[in-house]
């Protein structure tokens, strides 16, 4: 498959890369957490964490400039390198997990040499980084000589500790947990600086004095990144700032980890430079906060020129970087000419947007009851009823209760907009307070599509008007909070307006609690918001809702309009939540249309939907980009005067089901967590290979396994070993098979693979004649059975059975240990292992 063919099926490049990038981000976080919590080999874990964080920074930078790196991303080999990179990170995570705990380290020393494994993983990662063109950004963070010294020191420290406290061949499960705290103290021990200058005399160590300012700086960096993620305008400008502050954060982390080696920290001037950095970050945060919102941006223009302010902040920040000796680490990430171009493009885009958009303010007013008359034909829709205002204007009277008092306050703030249901004021009807709203003759958009088919050209105009309504809300710093077709109202002339602001709130206000509506509006809800409402954590109830959530809901509304049906209509809340949180979405179907224009419009809608419901919130389409695409569609496909305004219900085959042929556009699913067993890749699916193996299509399956093994996938390596051992693809090669089996067992700490490798070694034992080699095989067989039986992720019951049999009978020349053997057999029997149950019965136990 060529690179072009590979990407033709995707809505955009990022749709293809999102699963693997998401997995990489999860792995980096896990590696950093392991490093933070390491009981021993802290230095080795820190080195690995530094490397993967440096790589993550490069990924973030490249993704923010994906359009400029399009040629790389369109290359299939570049995608495969990303897959290889992800698999390398999986191996690094398992390595760090193993060596970071003393119990695991004892086991690890039997499996392979720590330093050799470290160097192998480091070299594999470096090759990947070079292939991905990350090297230039990351190189300054790497000092191999220093790394090697830190690894040696860490190894010697732990080995000495183990020699004093344990015999290396002691079984892991017999280690007394009471020693763990003691080990942690030894492994965590750090040198305290012996001499300090007068400025630091009052502090216990240098870091104590720096912690408050460093923590504040890191907090500002995180806030700036959050502002960038949630920006509805000037995203490029904010991205430029994020690139700089993230570079600085990386340098801070690197320097702090080696604080005892940095003499500058003793100088008061260096401390004051850190204080200056904190203050600069605070100013950058406020600047980004202002320019990232349409309303704030309009206000800012009156105060000073945005570009000049950007240049001033950037130059101040760079001077601070130089004072702190961060310049070497940061310089490669900076391209001032490119930055200036991106800022200019961002400012031009927003100015054009604001030129086309105007709003008028109108104060909320009290309407006298005498100004409201009954219409000729009374109309009641639920609690809402129709009246005539000043005998000429059709209005809707909506009762005011505790909940929609908030709606009235929001509507009073909003004033007038052609895309917002007009709020005339409030009054009293039949002794009850009511809001007076514009009357929507045709009800809401859901009512309309349930009674009629809506022509595609009109759907473009509807989508555009809804977006303009959301845009207006953003200029007023308001979130609607409940964007769906039922809250879009249709006037007599088929124009549409946003309404029902009962759950709306201002941007800086606390999030509205949507628990009462959750079971229904979950259909339109962003994954990060779903996670909030199903989470038991109180902390997750803070400021989760952003404009990116609103954009996701718009994408679901567009799907609803596209197919004229309720999303996930037959599903319950749990089904929807599980589906969306796993990265999946509603089915995308191609309709069957007589008019080729309808087909083209639907395909454009599908692309927008995919861009709007992206799993990673910061990657969802922005308002300016969406506005431009809808404008282009409207210009290309205008509503013609001779076409009917609405069609009969069922006239259009919107999903292709009427023809009896189902055509599904496959959307790659985004995984929040890295799978532990089988991973599905967009290009080379390991699962497809296993399916072919089950169908005995061995030659095809072999190609899938081989390609995945080349990407360092441990499960694929096992399958390659299996094929080589049994000759399923051709000739047998037991030597190569054993090599692949061992790599699979070592690299992913996978219990099933470890058990199977032991069984393979046991088969080799019967053929071996050399006594020294047989002894080594016996030790390795027991070792991998122990690894599989005691695997913290998934203890293998077959390995438990084999160990029980070995220890009860004293097989493989081990010392007979009936108690231990019976313990393993009972554990295996509890896991429904039939052979263990039978052996226990035979032994009378």
Residue 637 is predicted with a pLDDT of: 95
**Pairing assessment for the beta strands 393-399 and 452-453 based on DSSP bridges:** unpaired
Residues 6+ apart with CB under 8 A from 286: none
State the distance between the two ends of the chain, measured CA to CA, in whole angstroms.
Answer: 59
Whole-number Å distance between alpha carbons of 804 and 302: 79
Q: What is the pLDDT of residue 666?
A: 39
Rounded-to-integer distance, Cα 395 and Cα 520, Å: 28
Residue position matching structure tokens 């419009």: 601
The residue among 738 and 349 whose pLDDT is bigger is 738
pLDDT tier, 722 (very low <50, low <70, confident <90, very high otherwise): confident
At 587-612, the pLDDT tens digits run: 888 888 999 999 999 999 999 999 89
Residue that is written with structure tokens 């122990």 in the block: 786
Average confidence (pLDDT) over 91-105: 74
Instruction: Give the C-alpha distances (Å, rounded to integers) separating 656 from 18, 121, 493, 605, 819.
Output: 28, 50, 30, 16, 66
Confirm if 236 and 342 have CB atoms less than 8 A apart.
Answer: yes
Q: Determine what percent of the chain is predicted with pLDDT higher than 90.
A: 18
Residue 546: CA atoms inside 13 Å, Cβ hemisphere, count? Answer: 18
Predicted local confidence at residue 249, as pLDDT: 81
pLDDT of residue 297: 57
Q: What is the pLDDT of residue 439?
A: 94
The per-residue pLDDT for range 244-276, each reduced to its tens digit, is 788 778 777 777 666 655 566 677 777 777 788
Continuous segment of H or E residues that includes residue 533: helix 527-534
The winner for highest mean pLDDT among 168-172, 305-309, 693-697 is 693-697
- Cβ-proximal residues to 47 (8 Å cutoff; 6+ apart), any chain: 118, 122, 147, 150, 151
Opening angle at CA 566, ends 564 and 568, nearest 5? 130
Contact partners, residue 555, CB within 8 Å, separation at least 6:
608, 609, 610, 611, 612, 613, 620
Q: What is the pLDDT of residues 528-542, one digit of tens each?
A: 888 887 875 544 445
Polymer length in residues for the chain = 845
Which domains, ranges and CATH numbers included, belong to the chain?
A: 1-189 (no CATH), 209-356 (no CATH), 369-438 (3.30.200.20), 445-648 (1.10.510.10), 686-842 (1.25.40.10)
Give me 844's structure tokens.
């009378």
Q: Which pLDDT tens digit goes with each residue over 382-412?
A: 889 999 999 889 999 998 876 666 677 677 6
Quote the percentage of the chain above a pLDDT of 70: 74
**Predicted confidence band of residue 70 (pLDDT cuts 50, 70, 90):** low
Largest CA distance in the chain: 108
Report how many helices (DSSP H) and strands (DSSP E) the chain contains, helices first.
35, 12
> How far, CA to CA in Å, does 754 sit from each of 90, 103, 172, 290, 509?
17, 18, 17, 56, 54
**CA atoms 233, 234, 240, 246: torsion sign:** negative
* Residue 728, helix vs strand vs coil: coil
DSSP annotation string for 572-606: -HHHHHHHHHTT-----B--B-SSHHHHHHHHHHH
Q: Inform me whether the pLDDT recorded for 458 exceeds 90.
A: yes
Confidence of residue 69 (pLDDT cuts 50, 70, 90): low
SS3 label, residue 348 = helix
CA atoms within 13 A on the CB side of 138: 27
Name which of 111-120, 471-480, 820-829 the model is least confident about.
111-120
Q: Is the pLDDT of residue 30 over 80?
A: yes
So what's the pLDDT on residue 484? 95
Burial class (CB in 10 A: 0-12, 13-18, 19+), 477: middle
pLDDT-based confidence at 671, cuts 50/70/90?
Answer: very low
Residue 675 has pLDDT above 80, yes or no: no
Q: Which residue has the tokens 């499996």?
A: 111
Residue spans of alpha helices (H) in 617-733: 623-636, 686-694, 698-710, 714-726
Mean pLDDT of the chain: 76
Mean pLDDT, rounded, for 19-26:
80
The residue whose two tokens read 């004093």 is 164
Mean pLDDT of 635-654: 92
φ, ψ at 42 (rounded to 5°): -60, -40
Contact partners, residue 381, CB within 8 Å, separation at least 6: 443
**pLDDT tens digits for 198-235?**
444 444 456 667 778 788 888 888 888 888 877 767 77
Under the banding of pLDDT at 50, 70 and 90, the label for residue 748 is low
Measured CA to CA, the distance from residue 462 to residue 605 in angstroms comes to 12
What is residue 169's predicted lDDT score, i.e. its pLDDT?
39
Whether 817 shows a pLDDT value over 60: the answer reads: yes
User: Quick one: pLDDT at residue 615?
Assistant: 85
What number of other Cβ atoms are within 10 A of residue 264's Cβ?
Answer: 14
DSSP state of 702: H
Q: Residue 452 pLDDT > 90, yes or no?
A: yes
């Amino acid at each position: 498959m060529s690179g072009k063919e590979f990407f033709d099926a995707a809505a955009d490049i990022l749709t293809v890369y999102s699963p693997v990038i998401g997995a990489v981000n999860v792995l980096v976080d896990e590696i950093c957490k392991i490093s933070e919590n390491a009981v021993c080999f802290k230095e080795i874990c820190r080195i690995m964490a530094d490397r993967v964080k440096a790589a993550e920074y490069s990924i973030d930078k490249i993704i923010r400039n994906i359009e400029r790196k399009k040629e790389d991303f369109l290359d299939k080999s570049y995608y495969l390198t990303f897959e290889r990179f992800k698999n390398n990170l999986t191996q690094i995570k398992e390595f760090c997990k193993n060596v970071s705990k003393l119990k695991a380290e004892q086991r690890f020393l039997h499996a392979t040499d720590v330093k050799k494994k470290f160097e192998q993983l480091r070299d594999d990662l470096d090759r990947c980084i070079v292939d991905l063109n990350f090297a230039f950004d990351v190189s300054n963070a790497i000092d191999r000589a220093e790394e090697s010294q830190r690894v040696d020191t860490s190894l010697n420290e732990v080995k000495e500790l183990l020699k004093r406290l344990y015999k290396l061949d002691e079984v892991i499960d017999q280690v007394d947990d009471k020693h763990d705290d003691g080990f942690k103290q030894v492994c965590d021990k750090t040198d305290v600086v012996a001499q300090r200058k007068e400025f630091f005399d009052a502090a216990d160590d240098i870091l104590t004095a720096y912690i408050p300012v460093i923590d504040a700086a890191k907090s500002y960096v995180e806030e700036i990144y959050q502002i960038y993620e949630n920006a509805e305008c000037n995203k490029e400008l904010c991205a430029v700032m994020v690139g700089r502050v993230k570079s600085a954060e990386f340098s801070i982390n690197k320097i702090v980890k080696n604080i005892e080696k940095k003499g500058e920290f003793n100088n008061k001037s260096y401390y004051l430079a850190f204080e200056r950095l904190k203050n600069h970050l605070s100013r950058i945060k406020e600047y980004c906060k202002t320019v990232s919102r349409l309303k704030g941006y309009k206000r800012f223009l009156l105060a000073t020129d945005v570009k000049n302010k950007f240049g001033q902040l950037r130059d101040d920040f760079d001077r601070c970087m130089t004072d702190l000796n961060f310049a070497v680490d940061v310089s490669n990430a900076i391209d001032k000419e490119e930055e200036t171009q991106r800022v200019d493009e961002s400012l031009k885009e927003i100015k054009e947007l604001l030129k086309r958009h105007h709003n008028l303010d109108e104060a909320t007013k009290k309407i006298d009851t005498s100004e409201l008359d009954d219409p000729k034909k009374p109309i009641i829709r639920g609690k809402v009823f129709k009246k005539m205002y000043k005998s000429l204007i059709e209005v809707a009277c909506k009762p005011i209760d505790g909940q929609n008092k908030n709606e009235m306050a929001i509507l009073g703030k909003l004033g007038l907009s052609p895309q917002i249901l007009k709020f005339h004021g409030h009054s009293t009807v039949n002794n009850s307070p009511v809001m007076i709203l514009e009357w929507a003759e045709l009800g809401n958009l859901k009512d309309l599509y349930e009674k009629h088919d809506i022509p595609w050209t009109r759907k473009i105009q509807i989508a555009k008007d809804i977006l303009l309504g959301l845009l207006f809300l953003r200029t007023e710093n308001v979130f609607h909070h409940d964007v769906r077709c039922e809250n879009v109202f249709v006037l007599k002339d088929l124009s549409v307006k946003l309404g029902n602001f009962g759950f709306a709130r201002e941007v800086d206000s606390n999030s509205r609690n949507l628990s009462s509506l959750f079971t229904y509006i979950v259909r339109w809800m962003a994954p990060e918001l779903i996670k909030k409402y199903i989470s038991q954590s109180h902390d997750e109830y803070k400021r989760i809702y952003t404009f990116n959530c609103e954009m996701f809901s718009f994408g679901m509304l567009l799907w609803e309009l596209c197919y004229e049906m309720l999303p996930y209509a037959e599903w319950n809340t749990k089904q929807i939540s599980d589906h969306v949180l796993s990265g999946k979405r509603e089915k995308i179907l191609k309709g069957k249309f007589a008019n080729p224009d309808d087909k083209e419009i639907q395909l454009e809608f599908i692309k927008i939907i995919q861009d709007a419901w992206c799993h990673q919130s910061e990657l969802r389409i922005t308002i300016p980009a969406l506005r431009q695409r809808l404008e282009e569609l409207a210009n290309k496909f205008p509503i013609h005067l001779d076409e009917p305004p609405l069609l009969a219900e069922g006239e259009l085959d919107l999903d292709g089901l009427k023809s009896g042929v189902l055509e599904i556009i496959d959307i790659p699913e985004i995984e929040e967590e890295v799978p532990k067993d089988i991973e599905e890749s967009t290009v080379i699916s390991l699962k497809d290979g296993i399916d072919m193996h089950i169908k005995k299509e061995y030659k095809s399956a072999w190609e899938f396994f081989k390609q995945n093994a080349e990407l360092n996938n441990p499960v694929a390596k096992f399958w390659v070993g299996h094929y080589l051992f049994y000759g399923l693809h051709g000739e047998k090669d037991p030597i190569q098979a054993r090599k692949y089996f061992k790599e699979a067992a070592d690299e992913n700490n996978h219990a099933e693979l470890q058990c199977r490798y032991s069984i393979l070694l046991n088969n080799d034992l019967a053929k071996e004649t050399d006594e020294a080699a047989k002894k080594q095989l016996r030790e390795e067989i027991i070792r991998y059975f122990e690894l599989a039986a005691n695997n913290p992720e998934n203890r293998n019951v077959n390995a438990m059975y084999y160990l029980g049999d070995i220890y009860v009978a004293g097989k493989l020349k081990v010392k007979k240990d009936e108690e231990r053997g019976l313990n393993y057999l009972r554990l295996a029997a509890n896991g429904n292992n039939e052979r263990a149950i039978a052996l226990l019965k035979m032994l009378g136990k």
